[in-house]
Structure 1
Amino acid sequence: MTVETTALDTSRWTPPAGWPAMSRRQCREILTAPGQRFEMEEVEIRGVRLRTWKNAPPSLRAIALAGRTHGDSEFVVYEDERVTFDGWFRAVATLAHHLQELGVRKGDRVALAMRNLPEWPVAFFAATSIGAIIVPLNAWWTSAELTYGLSDSGAKVLICDDERWERIAPHAGELPGLERALVSRAATPLSPPASALEDLIGTPPDYTSLPPRELPDVSILPDDDATIFYTSGTTGMPKGALGTHRNITTNVLSGAYAVACAALRRGEVPPEPVKKTGLVVIPLFHVTACSASLMGSVVAGNRAVYMYRWDPEKAFAIIEREKVNATGGVPTIAWQLLDHPARDRFDLSSIESIAYGGAPAAPELVRRIHAEFGALPSNGYGMTETMATVTSHSSEDYLNRPDSCGHPVAVVDIKITGEDGETELPPGEVGEIWVRGPQVVKGYWNKPEETAECFIEGWVRTGDLGRMDEEGFLFIVDRAKDMIIRGGENIYSCEVENVLYDHPAVSDAALVGLPHPTLGEEPAAVVYLAPGKTASEAELQAWVGERLARFKVPVRIGFSPETLPRNANGKILKGELQHLLDGATEKATTGEVRPPSSG
């Protein structure tokens, strides 16, 4: 089917004369030519021949060695702690040897459960540099969920912070395969199987005093197992996506390719790499932060600033103090940076880019980032099963197509399929998005049936609905399970949510389906209003009705007193919104629908 789309107001950005200087196809031909940095080659991976980056690092071990070359440059800043690349590598090598002394061998699982701390990238690279499979666990998980992840992965060693160990320790007896736990920043004495991580590598400010060591001598191939990232599904038990070294190292060049392509599109020579400072505000256990961001940062020698907990005003202070060049994470964070009343009190002129992924973004967000920050917006599409980046969207291309999630990176193939899962649909037609490329993971850990269902001859079925235009730009329409069917008419959540986001008072929005005895279901919305803004249910319904077909107008609108609940990857937990709609129903019957005064 062909999706109906709302005509976007692009009057706020007018392409400069001569843009684009060349087509995407011409960019690709230039950048991937033989001998160039982004040259590609075909490699057979699990029986399927795929395009790969010829010059991508062959393993995470190779990325660690590249990071060491940045020496005394700062790598991580966390509150008053500063760690250089040299100090980080000393800690990585020291911990890698200790893990081997604990009996960790190639293929063993090492779990990592902690908030964004300087110890996180140390543990990650120490384990993967000796061929172990790192298992980054969601630090937001409860005791039961963390125990599930440890049990499901069969982790032999756990590296965690004190808060996570407090949750896990009562269940240690349920984990016979867990032999040791190395705990950082423990506030109380530890007892077996736990011991202090600091006893092995010291504290982050002291890493530079560790003796210099080489990494243990372990042979690692690009398609060896490297990671198990758990999916962020909003229902059911998470599945462990088993990734290889090639999967995660592919992103090093995928990100750089997007930068080079943007330069060619504006008629410029791709810039030489320059070290930047990024404010990392999304968890490193998410593939966006780890795969799409951390990998390239280590190779490039960029500096990363971590926060204890997200707070917009504290973020402003950090941006000003550390001269941060890039930040973002998920669209919610970008909205809060724009709408926070304290923004004008800080010097944010160092910001060059605000990037995000993990969830759809409204076109209005793209326009406002450019208009109010003077920064270039950046977005992308991917999932845990694709180790993050499938498409990249930035700079003028994003301003020109603010409702798209971008163009596939050069080593990626995308197809839109019909309901039969076989028919490939033409441009403009909506269907399920299938992805193929060297970054697609091997499958789900110990789940052969689910693997066979989702991974087919090199392709992964994403479960997302989308369409592609004639130039190959991808447009996400909805999650297949989130699409609302009202009396046989399809309603795509993203389309209605984007219209709500365009309202000047709306800062957060979600569309859900409500059961209906004859129509099957009807659309309803929950919104969060920006601080100091007001709007009524009737006003927002009229706003949508003026821009979309009447059957797409939410029959109910609930107002949330805070930003909508999300999982760690930025996806709205729509199942938790029902109580807000129930409240809206009660108030609507008395004609007293009112948004919270605080927004």
Structure 2
Amino acid sequence: MEPQPADPAVDLLTSPGAPFAVVRSESGGLEYADGPRTLREFVETTWAYGDTPFLIAGSGRLTYGEFFAEASALARRFVDVYGLRPGDRAVVAMRNHPEWQIAFWAAQLAGLVAVPLNAWWTAGEFTYALDDCEPGVLLVDGERLERVQPWLEGREGEGRPWTLVFHHDGDLPGDRVERYEDLPAADPALGPPDVDVTPDDDATIIYTSGTTGRPKGAVATHRAHVGAIANPRYFAALSALRRGQIPGQGPAPVALLTFPFFHVAAFTGFYAAMAAGGTLVLLRKWDAVKALQAIREHGITNYGGVPATALQLLEAAEAAGDEMPTLAMFNTGGAAAPPDLVARLTERFGERVEPRNGYGLTETLGGVTANFGAEYRAHPESVGRPAPAVEVRVAGPGGEAVADGEVGELWLRGQSVIRGYWRDEAATAAAFAPDGWFRTGDLATLRDGRVSVVDRIKDMVIRGGENVYCVEVEAVLHDHPDVLDAAVLGVPHPVLGEEVAAVVQVRPGSELDAEAVRAHVAKSLAAFKVPAHVLLRDAPLPRNATGKLLKRELRGPVGEAVRPAPGTPAAPA
């Protein structure tokens, strides 16, 4: 990445001796010079927030003091009763209950490797991951217990891991299974167990979303996680300076966090809240009207969620005439944000609510770039600039950096990048260049230090030798007022190789037709990018729990819809 013009705010935060100064590590990457060394050190500092609310949910609320006492007690149980030792895996599989945080941080206090699993997986998907990571303990809620039970039934005696069940009133299946609510009350005077945790010990295995195949277990060290903690803190401090404020002053944030805890976008959110002594408000499931009620009831200042829920919240607020007066920051992640999102936010709230988006992956433990405030309004197509301990390269076929503004694969190197994939040397070797650069699989451009992601390499459509970036076409489709959601993908063509197809969810009552959709795209994009096939639907498009489009579920129906009848001649190029 080319050196950028001096920015006084950046220099104030990153110069030698500043809070976010970086040094070159022995491995060649950048890392923060100061801060906690492990997740255990980080969470131990939160006890100082005492009676400040940490988590508020329909199932209960926890102060920081209560949270730390319960996490410490559970960590002691892992060591003293379950006989677990540092490096053993602790699976966490539940919806966004406050106890998810207790379970995750208890694993860190005991030196275990936390394995947050997707709460919406089926029994078969759980079986795959459990066989893969071989846990020493399962920490599940009642809903997930049924899905892991077939796997547990295949193990007996000491070969069966301990299972601790949260929010479950039914019978417990077999030996080595306990109910969390039956455990003794936590003694806040005891603290966590005495175990040794080092920066290069593994802290988590987080499975990728598996949108294109079997999930892989991304393994991250404590060193990587404390880098991931520093990244959002840096962006928050830089944002404050650019708004003429002193970082860290003023009331702590109250955030509505709608990402599922098992996803790294949520890690960015709860790490930022914990570092500032902020409060997280949780919803049992997404509901835009209930989100508005929560914002009013709790005085929420920060919103965090996928673009789809963000748009629904804005629509609900417009319909209710709700100005959300306490809201100060509107953050989207987990999936690409339509460029018109920031325009809609600005049109309604002016500059009172700061927009923010960014870029991150499971393999980077959350956001490593951010675009916010005036710069986001000026460059809504960008995911922003990297954090100090993150290096960016847009690489050509041979790994060389391409010219500014040219499309290439986005490569990343830095402290928060994982060390590799769990027990998968081939996948690790394929993902990392020899000098430590991680190949993201995303196509991007770099202009004046700002990153713009244009597509996944596997999603790009090549029509008659011309590259069509699906994200670009989707952004134009989202600009139409009657389009609620859109997905663009390639379909086979006998002459051109591929053609562009679009699946569009239309607003109820709309009279939008396929030709009108094509005409709308043609106003903004070259003819070869205009979808040759448009499928309109009323139902929502398939997305995973973190908001990513599941295009594999659309390819079959789209292929059937556009398949020519037998004997139909091939269309000309």
Deviations 1:1-25 (A, max 9, x none): xxxxxxxxxxxxxxxxxxxxx9564
The answer to whether structure 1 residue 129 and structure 2 residue 112 are counterparts is no
The answer to whether structure 1 residue 323 and structure 2 residue 299 are counterparts is yes
* Aligned residue among 463, 467, 470 for 1:490: 467
TM-score, normalisation: structure 2: 0.93
Conserved 8 A contact 2:317-2:323? no
Over 3 Å counting, the alpha-carbon distance change for 1:494 and 1:201 in structure 2 is farther
Deviations 1:345-396 (A, max 9, x none): 5462111111111211111011112222442111110101111122111111
Conserved 8 A contact 1:560-1:580? no
Please list, as runs of the form range in 1=range in 2, the aligned pairs for 1:395-434 lying within 5 A after superposition: 395-420=373-398, 422-434=399-411
Extract unaligned runs of 5+ from structure 2.
564-573
Conserved 8 A contact 1:52-1:438? yes
Conserved 8 A contact 1:378-1:393? yes
* Aligned residue among 133, 147, 151 for 1:167: 147
* Aligned residue among 188, 196, 220 for 2:170: 188
Over 3 Å counting, the alpha-carbon distance change for 1:175 and 1:335 in structure 2 is farther
Identify which range, 35-44 or 441-450, moves more after superposition: 35-44
Alpha-carbon distance between aligned partners in 1 of 2:184 and 2:366, rounded to the nearest angstrom: 31
Conserved 8 A contact 2:507-2:538? no
Alpha-carbon distance between aligned partners in 1 of 2:531 and 2:237, rounded to the nearest angstrom: 42
Alpha-carbon distance between aligned partners in 1 of 2:348 and 2:510, rounded to the nearest angstrom: 18
Tell me how large the CA RMSD over aligned residues is: 2.1
Q: Please report how far the alpha carbon of residue 544 of structure 1 lies from its aligned counterpart in structure 2 after TM superposition.
A: 0.4
Deviations 1:181-226 (A, max 9, x none): 1001113121323220122256xxxx6xx44321111221222110
Q: Which residue of 1 aligns with 2:20?
A: 38
Q: Which amino acid aligns with 1:303?
A: T
Q: Please report how far the alpha carbon of residue 491 of structure 1 lies from its aligned counterpart in structure 2 after TM superposition.
A: 0.2
Q: Please report how far the alpha carbon of residue 442 of structure 1 lies from its aligned counterpart in structure 2 after TM superposition.
A: 0.6
Alpha-carbon distance between aligned partners in 1 of 2:35 and 2:537, rounded to the nearest angstrom: 45
Deviations 1:486-508 (A, max 9, x none): 01000000110111111111121
Determine helix, strand or coil for the equivalent of 1:510: strand
Alpha-carbon distance between aligned partners in 2 of 1:24 and 1:303, rounded to the nearest angstrom: 35
Q: Which residue of 2 aligns with 1:15?
A: none
Alpha-carbon distance between aligned partners in 2 of 1:201 and 1:571, rounded to the nearest angstrom: 41
Alpha-carbon distance between aligned partners in 2 of 1:180 and 1:468, rounded to the nearest angstrom: 49
Please list, as runs of the form range in 1=range in 2, the aligned pairs for 1:100-249 lying within 5 A after superposition: 100-101=79-80, 102-175=82-155, 177-190=159-172, 191-200=174-183, 210-249=187-226
Q: Which residue of 1 aligns with 2:537?
A: 560
Alpha-carbon distance between aligned partners in 2 of 1:187 and 1:215, rounded to the nearest angstrom: 28
Over 3 Å counting, the alpha-carbon distance change for 1:296 and 1:352 in structure 2 is same
Q: Which residue of 2 aligns with 1:340?
A: 316
* Aligned residue among 520, 524, 548 for 2:497: 520
* Aligned residue among 37, 45, 51 for 1:58: 37
Q: Please report how far the alpha carbon of residue 32 of structure 1 lies from its aligned counterpart in structure 2 after TM superposition.
A: 1.1
Deviations 1:116-165 (A, max 9, x none): 00101100110111211000000010001111111101111000000000
Identify which range, 557-566 or 431-440, moves more after superposition: 557-566
Quick one: percent identity of the two aligned structures? Answer: 41
The answer to whether structure 1 residue 95 and structure 2 residue 95 are counterparts is no
Q: Which amino acid aligns with 1:498?
A: A
Q: Please report how far the alpha carbon of residue 329 of structure 1 lies from its aligned counterpart in structure 2 after TM superposition.
A: 1.6
The answer to whether structure 1 residue 76 and structure 2 residue 76 are counterparts is no
Alpha-carbon distance between aligned partners in 2 of 1:547 and 1:402, rounded to the nearest angstrom: 16
Q: How many residues align?
A: 555
Q: Please report how far the alpha carbon of residue 274 of structure 1 lies from its aligned counterpart in structure 2 after TM superposition.
A: 3.3
Q: Please report how far the alpha carbon of residue 529 of structure 1 lies from its aligned counterpart in structure 2 after TM superposition.
A: 2.4
Q: Please report how far the alpha carbon of residue 67 of structure 1 lies from its aligned counterpart in structure 2 after TM superposition.
A: 1.1
Identify which range, 225-234 or 183-192, moves more after superposition: 183-192
Please list, as runs of the form range in 1=range in 2, the aligned pairs for 1:375-524 lying within 5 A after superposition: 375-420=353-398, 422-456=399-433, 457-469=435-447, 471-524=448-501
Alpha-carbon distance between aligned partners in 1 of 2:555 and 2:367, rounded to the nearest angstrom: 32
Q: Please report how far the alpha carbon of residue 531 of structure 1 lies from its aligned counterpart in structure 2 after TM superposition.
A: 4.7
Determine helix, strand or coil for the equivalent of 1:49: coil
* Aligned residue among 325, 329, 333 for 1:357: 333
Q: Which amino acid aligns with 1:130?
A: A
Conserved 8 A contact 2:305-2:333? yes
Over 3 Å counting, the alpha-carbon distance change for 1:580 and 1:318 in structure 2 is farther
Q: Please report how far the alpha carbon of residue 539 of structure 1 lies from its aligned counterpart in structure 2 after TM superposition.
A: 0.8
Over 3 Å counting, the alpha-carbon distance change for 1:301 and 1:214 in structure 2 is same
Extract unaligned runs of 5+ from structure 1.
1-21, 587-599
Determine helix, strand or coil for the equivalent of 1:149: helix
Q: Which amino acid aligns with 1:56?
A: G
Conserved 8 A contact 2:392-2:410? yes
Q: Please report how far the alpha carbon of residue 534 of structure 1 lies from its aligned counterpart in structure 2 after TM superposition.
A: 4.2
Q: Please report how far the alpha carbon of residue 39 of structure 1 lies from its aligned counterpart in structure 2 after TM superposition.
A: 2.1
Conserved 8 A contact 2:395-2:408? yes
Q: Please report how far the alpha carbon of residue 261 of structure 1 lies from its aligned counterpart in structure 2 after TM superposition.
A: 2.1
Q: Which amino acid aligns with 2:93?
A: A
Q: Please report how far the alpha carbon of residue 582 of structure 1 lies from its aligned counterpart in structure 2 after TM superposition.
A: 6.3
Conserved 8 A contact 2:508-2:538? no
Q: Which amino acid aligns with 2:359?
A: Y
Over 3 Å counting, the alpha-carbon distance change for 1:343 and 1:354 in structure 2 is farther
Q: Which residue of 1 aligns with 2:275?
A: 299
